[in-house]
Chain A
């Protein structure tokens, strides 16, 4: 028995249950706007997801930072930075960066796509598993900011004029946008839709 079937609306913010029959527009406890489900959840999530896919390409092909060391200038892409770490025998850190900057964004993009397809085509399958997948996607998103923060610290610390300098590259804006857009996409997806079409 869902709250929807009983004519109750749960406030998104404070959890208070209001009665649909009274057609309240705002939650009486916290004043937040009431909706039975997040409005236009699938459309918003799809739009954000497509933008993320588009930005994922420049994020991976352009250099994310330019490192100058003793007069030698090198440009690193995300993947290049990981390979450089492997070459220096820093395997654990390389794996950490690989997970945060390559695997997490990619799995997030694919995961949200699958969730949208599941809701759109009403696939009948274990809804609990889908909900778990949604939770993992919503939880891990922020950890992709790792690369951006690392660059911010390197830019701050490595600033010794011509001797040694780190400059952020164009891919950093694209990558940051992918992280933010996929976080918004996960937030705009309403997990209750997974259960609504379930028999």
Chain B
């Protein structure tokens, strides 16, 4: 996968100034890519959530995903721009959905959120971790470490989500708990083969649309 043009340019500039070899310049470019791609995705998700009026639910969704995904892995786009676009659409939409469903789920108590967390935990427990070609496992011990970390993180997110529900069941607690559950369910989906196919198709579609412009 080629480096982002901006990242390569910054790394070349700094590398030339400091007399670095190509391998070290590549580390700098990777650092720029990590910074830019994360900030772009976060910015797109929060901007979309602001537009849809579901900023707290989107924050709960992002916290849930942010605690689990770094250890779980899953499907990816092939560019930071397409990633930001996908994140900027899916996170606000699912957060809005959680906010809309919360009052409808209220008569059933904590059970809808508990069922969603249970399903997500079962799927993550079974499927995670999933590495990619861009970041493979560095040995069996690392794979085992990620498996343990992702299970602990997912269990903590579920416990925190249900605690939030119990703290404020009539108000925002229900929608925040459902948003956290939606985050875990989304993560479980992108760990599966279906999720990989889905993200791959969206990535190719967005790539085609960008090239046509």
Q: Do A and B come from the same complex?
A: no
A residues neighboring B (CB under 8 Å): none
B residues neighboring A (CB under 8 Å): none
